Amino acid sequence: MKKVSPSRTELAKEAASASAPDAASGPAPTLGSLASFQAPLRALIFGASGGLGAALTEHLRAQPEVGEVFGAARSAEEPWRFTLEDEASIAKVVANASANGPLDLVIVATGLLHAAPLRPEKTWRQLSGEALMTLFQVNAVGPALIAKHCLPQLRRDAKAVFAAISARVGSIEDNRLGGWHSYRASKAALNMLLRNFAIELKLSHPQALCVGLHPGTVDTALSAPFQSALPPGQLQTPQASAAALIEVLDRLSVEDSGRLWAYDGQPIPS
């Protein structure tokens, strides 16, 4: 029997399939506190002008445990402007953020699923080297270079976290429908990099974590073309997702490092 390529609707449903919390685990957390970190916390957000990145930045600035929040973005003013393709710009942002002390929390909130003329592939027949290279650059290479410069600057004497926004569809074990080849593969590569970094980080920063985060399906430009396929109740506001992610980070311990975590606090298989 001929295999039918998954439709956009099916893939969108798969991407969101675990966005709603498991009924057995109760509602998604909404407090978004940072009680497990040493105060006053110093945070750095890459991608602070995006929908989720802006919500994370705003949420952190409202927390009493937070002393400083640095927001870096392609559209930011100097010295906080960076591009994922320019390692020197990344290094400059990190140097400025860590000039007056170590970083307690770094979140990479960048990512790319579609951008004209790139679209998620339904079949291998739609693959192109350009799409693969572009998505790997944005979703894996860029965050890896950010980690290269940020990890040494994390706090050593208390809990610290480096987190990157990943996606459930980057899970190899959880892949049920195929499709979206470039996006899935680039996020899977990111998850592997984060795992590698976590192993190495433990040697120099025994209280620090390096994790991936699945934010659910968030009402941003990234998910906009696929929102009509979602079941009711599975589209979150950026503010709700940001609060839930911060709550997850507060709950995680060093034993949880190197894994991918959903916004409802559940681990996602690699």
Domain boundaries in the chain?
38-268
Which tops the pLDDT comparison, 137 or 118? 137
pLDDT of residue 20: 31
pLDDT of residue 262: 97
pTM of the model: 0.87
CATH architecture assignment, domain 38-268: 3-Layer(aba) Sandwich (3.40)
pLDDT at 61 over 80: yes
Q: Across residues 72-90, what is the average pLDDT?
A: 98
- Beta strand pairing call for 260-262 and 105-108: unpaired
Which tops the pLDDT comparison, 20 or 211? 211
pLDDT of residue 3: 39
